[in-house]
Structure 1
Amino acid sequence: MNHPESVLEAAAECFTTLLRDHPQHAVALGKMGVVQAELGLAAAARASLEKAAELDPQAALVFSNLGHLLFRSGDSATAAEHLQRAVELDPDLDIAWSNLGDVQRDSGRWDEAAICYRRALALAPDDGGVLGNLVYALMTLCRFAELEPALGRLAELAAAAQAAGRPSPIDPFLACFLELPMADFQRIASDRARAIAVTTTASTTEAGSDEGRPALSPRRAERLRIGYASGQFAGHATGHLVQDMFRHHNRGRFEIIGYGLKPSDGSELRRRIVGDMDIFHDLSGHSDRQAADTMRRDRLDVLVDLDGFVSGNRNRVFALRGASLQVSYLGFPGTTGAAYMDYLIADRWLVPSEHEAFLSEAPVLLPGSYQVNSHRALGLGPVPPRAELGLPEGFVFCCFNVSRKIDAATLGLWLGLLERLPEAALWLLVDSPETLENLRREAAARGLDGERLIAAPRLDPEAHLARCQAADLFLDTLVCNAHTTASDALWAGVPVLTCPGASFAARVGASLVAAAGLDELIVATPSEYEETALELARNPGRLLNLRQRLQAGRETCALFDTAGLVGHLEAAFAEMVARQDRGEPPGRIVI
């Protein structure tokens, strides 16, 4: 559903009245459950849908909606049972196939997810959302031959939507993995942000413009009150990056309040983050309006969204304006396109001056890199022997990016290096056995031994950092760069070779490498990328020098200076507030 909260609340009242007189009305219960789910009332929605399914065990749509709700609540196993039941009851129910694909994807069964999305598309061929999910699955599986026509069809649907004045069917998060003009990326994000804004009960003025800000009363006490909101305060890349961040805030000048937007995973990382906040609110059981109201009651000076458009985001909370100054940072690599987001924290590599016109937010340009890191808190264990890691003794290229970042052009460069260096191997983090098989098939098509592509299993952060040291050179992907994985490699003393593109996501590698002091590994073209990698593989003295520089600068370089970066953020927050107090709109800030 895609309706304003006021419409949903009115619908809920109607169904409540109907069910008061007809409590066994299965259709009303099923619809009531959908409305409750959209309002964020997960427990009530589950009760309604389960009762509807009990009353009408042949209602395929009810089982589909119940499965989708459970999936969103984190119970993928039970969700899969209900969704399987839905497609058995009605094999032509496209939404059930799509929902089942989401569950399979979340469970790492990418091949099965692609099958489900294809079944959904066969029933609803113009559904751009499902097609985007299929594209995402094909990227993860590295099925390049199938991906090309799917991308072509997605571009057709996007062009048709634009011509008709409809929102783009492309999800902003998916857009980070596509080679798009900057204007197209901004339009995709803006389309989604506007759709989010109109589904809130806030007016367009309250949801985004300067006119809405005076209604909110920031605290403006001796200490500025800063809120950080995320659903990733857990074992997620964002959680790992920020886990040591909050304790570095100057408590004499800033009060830090955290907002957990998804349920706790019970991890030590989560406990540490919560413990480092002055106040922490678990808003996972709150509706979007309740969450925004909690933030408003806290009278924040600045609210930082650490998620953007990542999976499981709750952007309607920010559309409802939890604070008069709202900031996008870290989790989403690009503009949110949102009128309700005032600032985007970046750096000069990510947002060169000629790119600022494609931002909907005012840019905040930090010195060094924008990315906070917590690697000093993790340390670095001894490197395991290569034999234990399944690696040869020859030169080892590595890339630990998720496999959806491996585009065909990047893979072509990597395989070209293996052709020119017969003793070299390529060490990759792959998301499924099918992905590894597909990559090895691409290598075999070029006459290479597919076994030279070696899979790295997922490990806990400490073990992963230790094994990183066994690689010789990290090769970045081109369309969507390494983020956390590049910082991991640099902390482990492994040089990272990157080639920046046009988009924010394609320039993160350069931001990180520059902050680590290895500017010479930022190259301008794919051909220079290939020749630099080749030269480093053939010149062990130069490579050793790079590794020694990384190791010597690990404790002093800007990239791993957590306290220094937090100080830059504090300066930015103070300037945002000062501008607002002077009656000025959000504007470019350079720290």
Structure 2
Amino acid sequence: MSSNLQQAADTLMAAIRAHPDDARHHLQLGNLLAGVGDWAAAEVCYANCCHLQPKSANLQYNWGVSLQELSRIPEAIEAFERALTINPGYAAAFFALGLAYKRLEAFDAALVAFDCAIGLDGKDPKPRLERGRTLLQMGRHAECLAEIDAQPDAFRADPEVQNLRGIALKHLGRAQEALAAYDLAIRARPDYLDAIYNRANLRLLARQFSLALEDFDRAHALKPDLDWLPGLRLYTAMHVFDWREVDARLAALLDDVSQGRRGVQPLVLECLVDDPAAHQQAARIWHQSTQAPRVAWEPAVAPAQDGRIRVAYVSRDFKPHPVAYLMAEVFELHDRERFEVIGINYGAARDDEVQARLRAGFDRFLDVAHLQDKQIAELCRQLGVDIAVDLTGFTEGARGGIFAWRAAPVQMLYIGYLGTSGSPLYDYLIADPVTVPPETRPFHDERILYLPSYQANDRRRPRPPTTKGRAALGLPETGFVYCCFNNPCKITPAVFETWMTILRQVPGSVLWVLEEDPRAAENLRAHAARLGVAGERIVLAGRADRDAYLASLRAADLFLDTLPYNAGATASDALWMGLPVLTRLGQSFCARVAASLLTAVGLPELIARDADDYVRRAVDLATRPGLLDGLRQRLRDGARDSALFDAPGFVRTLEAGYEAVHRARLSGAAPDDVRVG
């Protein structure tokens, strides 16, 4: 507090001592303290005012505002309601009451309050804007958009309104219109951080990496410590192989994690560093920042009359997506005499072959995107779900709030996210002895349901024939083809340097990688040249439809995996198509998935111990043709019958795990790790 303000405060306190029953002095001191952000002291002053003049609506309102600033929301609501009892036409009090109800997630009550404020003062845009934000929080995106678009041009021209409109459009899957709305907001207010950040995230989702990076850089210039921005900015740069200052930026992110700051999302950190302790801490920070506290309640689920265990798989990715491709046959093969299988889809209802197959594979498939997290959890409880399995984790669009509201007595995390949730939301993480060995067990907050093999697979996936020769794919007709179709963000400078070491030792070889941005191609070839490899030896592949992508794997000789974030579904695709995968064993869950797959398919010799071993094996396989031919033959002869692709066997062990966990819950036994198979 400045000397002038302190002098004013001293004068007012002296006046209060001289005239303690004069509410004006208490009010003036409260306003002064509120102006400098000392809400605790201001609240005392406003409370004194209200005791002296209990019939003043304005004083009750001020008291409510101070209570709201102190997060004493129920008391704030009482103060606003007293103000409205005194003055039912007090628009500002209705608006403040709506904000307070929003803080409690009492959204219906908030809407009523905002409607009253709008009815009393239709010229004030704030209640209408907050009404729109409330509708978004309720998942009523179409209604929010319709209400905005029904308003006069003057209201819709407000940059905050266009930003809100962009959010609604994004949730409705109308990405281009959402981008246009963000553009309008930013054009009207060039330093509008929220709109810039929202546009950056949408461009990232749309895989417009260079444009997204420009927006993240712009946001960084405005507010470098914005929640999650440092991690997303580096993550986006990795997609275009912009590795400037990567070591320093990664060190800063790790410092954020160690200090409990909101610098990096857990999925982003997994792509950057092989450190299970840091991953666990990042997950804990994310959970504490984004999810409500765990509901102190255990749902009492009546056993099904037919004796079956009810399992709900909860996801937004019941669509053309790696999780759907891997899990489709699991849903179909569950034993219907012992299990009822329910799909809870909070993604879009789609008219495509993938979702049609998935719908047919469940006993019940429910589209719930329009429901709030709490409502979805309540629905699961009404259905009598015994075990709810989250297939999304921390990936895009995840709704962990469903599990925060406790959808089932037993909640599990599987396959969508490779690692711990860092939270009490999930009772079990499904893993295997390779992905979570004893030495990394302490870095997982869940109990572990250990299966013999981690990854589910679909034997019904196609094995399309080759339709294009090497030349048509941009590859040389001769020479060894190393490939990696992992997302570019998984390719770290250290990984790429290792690959260039391999290419230098294998004359005529090329590296075939996924590329989605012209800037990425330019950067990657420049990195290769710096490491002594001609740029033309880096062959770039664009995205292709699924059959074309699978068929193209036949044109490669060896798939080179990444560390710290391994190939998962992509490695499975390669092995299914007969393409050997070389991986390097790390420490974290995500750095051990490919080793799990190779163990299950019977090719442990493709698991390297360290970088030197990885290089040696990659060079040997290129220069000793008999070695590679033998591996290919083993894949052709035995892959389908291996543990990796034994879908019926996988489902049997998964069901045994479900039954063991279910029995333990019913018996009241203390939960513990479970091993089956």
Q: TM-score range by the shorter chain?
A: over 0.9
Taking the aligned partners of 2:535 and 2:618, their CA distance within structure 1 comes to: 20
Aligned residue in 2 for 1:378: 462
Aligned residue in 2 for 1:444: 529
8 Å CA contact 1:33, 1:47 repeated in 2? no
Aligned residue in 2 for 1:186: 280
Q: Could you tell me how far 1:214 is from its partner in structure 2?
A: 4.6
Aligned residue in 2 for 1:523: 608
Distance 1:383 1:539, change over 3 A: farther
Taking the aligned partners of 1:318 and 1:53, their CA distance within structure 2 comes to: 40
**Among residues 579, 582, 587, which one is paired with 2:672 in the alignment?**
587
Q: Could you tell me how far 1:418 is from its partner in structure 2?
A: 1.1
Taking the aligned partners of 2:152 and 2:602, their CA distance within structure 1 comes to: 60
**Among residues 212, 219, 225, which one is paired with 1:120 in the alignment?**
219
Aligned residue in 2 for 1:209: none
8 Å CA contact 2:142, 2:172 repeated in 1? no
Aligned residue in 1 for 2:34: none
Q: How does 1:99-110 map to 2 (within 5 A)?
A: 99-110=198-209
Unmatched tracts of structure 1, length 5 or more: 207-211
Is the counterpart of residue 571 in structure 1 residue 656 in structure 2?
yes
Q: How does 1:547-566 map to 2 (within 5 A)?
A: 547-566=632-651
Aligned residue in 1 for 2:271: 177
Is the counterpart of residue 81 in structure 1 residue 180 in structure 2?
yes
Distance 1:560 1:365, change over 3 A: same
Distance 1:587 1:232, change over 3 A: same
Give the letter aligned to residue 342 of structure 1. D
Stretch moving more, 489-498 or 179-188: 179-188
Aligned to 2:555, the other structure's residue is in SS state: coil
Give the letter aligned to residue 288 of structure 2. R
Aligned residue in 1 for 2:230: 131
Q: Could you tell me how far 1:252 is from its partner in structure 2?
A: 1.1
Residues 235-288 of structure 1 show CA distances to partners (whole Å, capped at 9, x for unaligned) of: 111111112221111111111110111113422101110111110100111121
Q: Could you tell me how far 1:61 is from its partner in structure 2?
A: 1.7
Aligned residue in 2 for 1:423: 508
Is the counterpart of residue 333 in structure 1 residue 418 in structure 2?
yes
8 Å CA contact 1:29, 1:52 repeated in 2? no
Aligned to 2:461, the other structure's residue is in SS state: helix
**Among residues 390, 395, 400, which one is paired with 1:310 in the alignment?**
395
Distance 1:26 1:218, change over 3 A: farther
Aligned to 2:343, the other structure's residue is in SS state: strand
Aligned residue in 1 for 2:489: 404
TM-score normalised by structure 1 residue count:
0.93
Distance 1:554 1:145, change over 3 A: same
Stretch moving more, 81-90 or 463-472: 463-472
Aligned to 1:244, the other structure's residue is in SS state: helix
8 Å CA contact 2:311, 2:387 repeated in 1? yes
Q: Could you tell me how far 1:57 is from its partner in structure 2?
A: 4.0
State the superposition RMSD in angstroms: 2.0
Q: Which has the larger radius of gyration?
A: 2
**Among residues 142, 145, 166, which one is paired with 2:244 in the alignment?**
145
Q: Could you tell me how far 1:109 is from its partner in structure 2?
A: 1.2
Residues 7-40 of structure 1 show CA distances to partners (whole Å, capped at 9, x for unaligned) of: 5454333212212434554221111111221122
Distance 1:375 1:467, change over 3 A: farther
Q: Could you tell me how far 1:52 is from its partner in structure 2?
A: 5.6
Is the counterpart of residue 390 in structure 1 residue 484 in structure 2?
no
Q: How does 1:467-478 map to 2 (within 5 A)?
A: 467-478=552-563
Unmatched tracts of structure 2, length 5 or more: 1-98
Distance 1:146 1:78, change over 3 A: farther
Q: Could you tell me how far 1:146 is from its partner in structure 2?
A: 4.5
Taking the aligned partners of 2:210 and 2:650, their CA distance within structure 1 comes to: 41
Aligned to 1:228, the other structure's residue is in SS state: strand
Report sequence identity in percent: 35
8 Å CA contact 1:474, 1:494 repeated in 2? yes
Give the letter aligned to residue 411 of structure 1. F
Q: How does 1:54-73 map to 2 (within 5 A)?
A: 54-73=153-172
Q: How does 1:4-403 map to 2 (within 5 A)?
A: 6=105, 8-23=107-122, 25-51=124-150, 54-160=153-259, 162=260, 168-198=262-292, 204-206=294-296, 212-217=297-302, 219=304, 221-367=306-452, 369-382=453-466, 384-392=468-476, 393-403=478-488
Q: Which has the higher contact order (CA 8 A, sep 6+)?
A: 1
Distance 1:9 1:191, change over 3 A: farther
TM-score normalised by structure 2 residue count:
0.82
Taking the aligned partners of 2:397 and 2:295, their CA distance within structure 1 comes to: 26
Aligned to 2:591, the other structure's residue is in SS state: coil
Give the letter aligned to residue 395 of structure 1. F
Q: Could you tell me how far 1:382 is from its partner in structure 2?
A: 3.6
Taking the aligned partners of 1:394 and 1:472, their CA distance within structure 2 comes to: 10
8 Å CA contact 2:274, 2:591 repeated in 1? no
Q: Could you tell me how far 1:156 is from its partner in structure 2?
A: 4.1
Aligned to 2:272, the other structure's residue is in SS state: coil
Taking the aligned partners of 2:425 and 2:302, their CA distance within structure 1 comes to: 16
Stretch moving more, 521-530 or 256-265: 256-265
Is the counterpart of residue 513 in structure 1 residue 607 in structure 2?
no
8 Å CA contact 1:472, 1:494 repeated in 2? yes
Stretch moving more, 13-22 or 279-288: 13-22
Aligned to 2:280, the other structure's residue is in SS state: helix
Give the letter aligned to residue 164 of structure 2. N
Residues 566-591 of structure 1 show CA distances to partners (whole Å, capped at 9, x for unaligned) of: 11111111011000011023311111
Distance 1:546 1:509, change over 3 A: same
Q: Could you tell me how far 1:442 is from its partner in structure 2?
A: 0.4
Taking the aligned partners of 2:203 and 2:468, their CA distance within structure 1 comes to: 34
Taking the aligned partners of 1:529 and 1:552, their CA distance within structure 2 comes to: 25
Give the letter aligned to residue 177 of structure 2. T
Residues 121-161 of structure 1 show CA distances to partners (whole Å, capped at 9, x for unaligned) of: 1111111412222111111111112534433443344444x
Aligned to 1:56, the other structure's residue is in SS state: helix
Taking the aligned partners of 1:205 and 1:102, their CA distance within structure 2 comes to: 30
Taking the aligned partners of 1:355 and 1:184, their CA distance within structure 2 comes to: 12
8 Å CA contact 1:135, 1:150 repeated in 2? yes
Residues 364-402 of structure 1 show CA distances to partners (whole Å, capped at 9, x for unaligned) of: 1111x2111114332342463222222111100011101
